[in-house]
Amino acid sequence: MEIKVLKNIMEANDAIAEKNKEIKKSRGLLMLNIIGSPGAGKTSVILKTIEHLGGVCGVIEGDITSDLDSRKMAERDIPVVQINTGGACHLDANMVYRALDNLEMENGVLFIENVGNLVCPAEFEVGEDFKVVISSIAEGDDKPYKYPLVFSKARAVVLNKIDLLPHMDFNREFFFSGVRALNPEAPVFEVSARTGEGIEAWSRWLQDIFQDLQKARQ
Ligand SMILES: Nc1nc2c(ncn2[C@@H]2O[C@H](COP(=O)(O)OP(=O)(O)OP(=O)(O)O)[C@@H](O)[C@H]2O)c(=O)[nH]1
Ligand SMILES: [Mg+2]
Ligand SMILES: [Zn+2]
Residue nearest to atom 21 of ligand 1 (CA): 39
CA angle at residue 194 from 83 to 112, to 5 degrees? 20
**Beta-sheet strands, E only, within 85-155:** 108-113, 130-136
Res 80 pLDDT > 70: yes
Beta strands at 80-84 and 188-190: parallel, antiparallel or unpaired: unpaired
Is the Cβ–Cβ distance between 166 and 136 less than 8 Å?
no
Residue 183 lies in a domain: yes
The whole-number average pLDDT for the span 98-113 is: 97
Res 3 pLDDT > 90: no
Report residue 54's pLDDT band, with 50, 70 and 90 as the boundaries: confident
Whichever domain contains 155, its CATH number is: 3.40.50.300
- pLDDT for res 4: 66
Please give the Cα distance from 62 to 86 (Å, whole number): 10
Res 70 pLDDT > 90: yes
Residue nearest to atom 32 of ligand 1 (CA): 161
Total of domains in the chain:
1
Res 42 pLDDT > 60: yes
Domain of 177 in residue numbering reads as 31-217
Residue 185, amino acid: E
Is the Cβ–Cβ distance between 63 and 69 less than 8 Å?
yes
**Beta partners for 125?**
none
- pLDDT for res 218: 82
Residue 7 lies in a domain: no
Residue 13 lies in a domain: no
Residue 2 lies in a domain: no
DSSP state letter for 44: H
- pLDDT for res 8: 75
Q: Is residue 121 in contact with ligand 1, taking CB distance under 6 Å?
A: no
- pLDDT for res 5: 62
**How remote is the CA of residue 38 from the centroid of ligand 1, in Å?**
8
The whole-number average pLDDT for the span 69-75 is: 98
**How remote is the CA of residue 95 from the centroid of ligand 3, in Å?**
13
**Beta partners for 34?**
113, 132
State the average pLDDT for the chain.
96
Report residue 104's pLDDT band, with 50, 70 and 90 as the boundaries: very high
Percent of the chain with pLDDT over 70: 98
Res 7 pLDDT > 70: no
Res 6 pLDDT > 60: no
Q: What is the CA radius of gyration of the chain?
A: 17
All residues at 6 or more sequence positions from 215 whose CB lies less than 8 Å from its CB, including other chains: none
**How remote is the CA of residue 34 from the centroid of ligand 2, in Å?**
10
Residue to probe by mutation, ligand 1, list 44, 67, 162, most atoms within 8 Å of CB: 44
Is the Cβ–Cβ distance between 190 and 159 less than 8 Å?
yes
Which stretch of DSSP H or E encloses residue 14? helix 9-27
Res 87 pLDDT > 60: yes
Backbone angles phi, psi at 4, to 5 degrees: -90, 130
